[in-house]
Amino acid sequence: MKDKYRQLCDTEKQIPIFSQAWWLDTVCGKDHWDVLLIEEKEKIQAALPLYIPRRGIISMPSYTQTLGPWFAPESGDTKYTKALGRRQALCKQLLDKLGAHSYFLQNFHYGITDWLPFYWEGYKQTTRYTYLLKGLQQPDRIWENMSSNIRRNITKAKEKHHITVRKGISIDEFLQIQEQTFERQGIPNKSDTGTLVRLIRTCRQRGQGDLWGGYDEQGRLHAAAFIVWQESSAWYLAGGGNPALRQSGAHSLILWECIRYVSRFTDQFDFEGSMIPGVERFFREFGAIQTPFFTITKGKLSLVDRACLKIGRIINRYE
């Protein structure tokens, strides 16, 4: 099945980057993910990639915004009622193949607006939000739609603090900035560093992601960001800033330069959203559109499962 799915990913450019086979190999490990396929006349009609960190557990891998089902595109003249009914029938087939499991958690791509087949099978749903900035090929329009606060920060970073944005900064510098951010927030660094490093290296090799940093004239790194992209969208995956230099506006300038850079590959930038008020406001002020997506769950994790998953994350952090 996975070989067929790899071939599908090579041809279907609309499969989100997080559901691509190469991404799953990197963030899950080749032995800890699988995929369910529905085929008709030797053509794949639906797919559901799964991260399986432990037997009976289906969850979300690190640094992966969404998974969920993928459906083969319908023809342009297909009636809505027929398309919806077909997708629901395909979902039912996927769920039949999925079978019993002790725990299920997936964030569905925002393109999946109907979770009824999962509801009918006893799953639950929580609505979350991301922020999408569209029309990247029109930078003047994007600039005008930004809040005055973001524009002011960008201008301040360039003209007052003389911040220079560089692409391709070192992974070590990026990790140091991340660590400083966690320290400022007063929370332990629980990030899956091993997976993050592998992902940065893989995305660089594929030409689908890189690290940006903002430096002042003294060579101090003020802030940094990890951006990935494909034809359908770019994503702000991770970032941080030096707590002592937060007022320079460097973070805003870095994201603005990243948006301008990825516009050569895509016309959409996904800030990946946040339910944290301050972060949500920062993304919204770029003029990005609030867009809901579903978190689908079923079952509960046992204490043993929780402990094993926590140990796995700790091990990955230091790999």
Average pLDDT over residues 160-180: 94
Name the nearest CA neighbour of 178 among 199, 163, 193, 161: 193
Report the pLDDT value the prediction gives residue 77, as an integer from 0 to 100: 86
Q: What is the mean pLDDT of residues 179-189?
A: 65
Q: Specify the 3-state DSSP secondary structure of 275.
A: coil
Lowest mean pLDDT among 108-117, 206-215, 259-268, 271-280: 271-280
Return d(Cα 53, Cα 59) in angstroms, integer: 7
Task: Say what the pTM is.
Answer: 0.91
pLDDT(274) > 80: no
State the number of CA atoms in the 13 A half-sphere of 104 facing the CB: 21
pLDDT at 185: 61
Across the range 179-205, mean pLDDT stands at 80
Q: What are the pLDDT digits (tens) for 43-79?
A: 999 999 999 998 899 999 999 999 999 999 988 889 9
Contact 209, 27 (CB under 8 A): no
Q: pLDDT tier at 136 (50, 70, 90 boundaries)?
A: very high
Which residues in 262-298 are b (16+ Cβ under 10 Å) and which e? Answer: bbeebbbbbbbbbeeeeebebbbbbbbeeeebbbbbb
Higher pLDDT, 23 or 42: 23
- Nearby residues of 147 by Cβ (< 8 Å), 6 or more positions away: 285, 286, 287
Query: Among 38, 60, 34, 59, which Cα is nearest to 47's?
Result: 38
Residue 100 confidence class, pLDDT cut points 50, 70, 90: confident
pLDDT of 190: 54
Helices 193-206 & 21-28 angle (0-180, nearest 10): 150
Q: Domain 2-122+292-317: which topology?
A: Aminopeptidase (3.40.630)
Helix axes 193-206, 171-185, angle to 10 degrees: 140
- Reported as a single tens digit per residue, the pLDDT across 15-30 is 999 999 999 999 999 9
- 319 pLDDT band (50/70/90 cuts)? very low
Residues 6+ apart with CB under 8 A from 204: 210
Average pLDDT on 205-221 reads 97
**Which amino acid appears at position 192 of this protein?**
D
DSSP per-residue codes, 119-138: HHTT-EEEEEEEEEEE-TT-
Q: What homologous superfamily is domain 131-287 in, according to CATH?
A: Gcn5-related N-acetyltransferase (GNAT) (3.40.630.30)
- CA–CA gap between residue 49 and residue 140 (Å, rounded): 39
Angle at 40 between CA 36 and CA 43, to 5 degrees: 80
| Cα dihedral value 234, 235, 238, 242, nearest 10 | 60
- Label residue 137 by pLDDT band (50, 70, 90): very high
Q: How far apart are CA 98 and CA 104, in angstroms?
A: 10
Band (184; pLDDT cuts 50, 70, 90)? low
Say if residues 19 and 67 touch (Cβ distance below 8 Å). yes
Q: For residue 140, what are its two tokens?
A: 């003047």
Copy the structure tokens of residue 155.
């201008």
- Give me the residue spans of the domains in the chain: 2-122+292-317, 131-287
Residues 205-240 as b/e (b if ≥16 CB within 10 A, e otherwise) read: eeebbbbbbbbbeeeebbbbbbbbbbebbbbbbbbb
Where helices occur in 146-273 by DSSP H, the ranges are: 148-159, 171-185, 193-206, 250-262
- Nearest to residue 179, comparing CAs of 252, 236, 241, 237? 241
Per the model's pLDDT, the better-predicted residue between 1 and 98 turns out to be 98
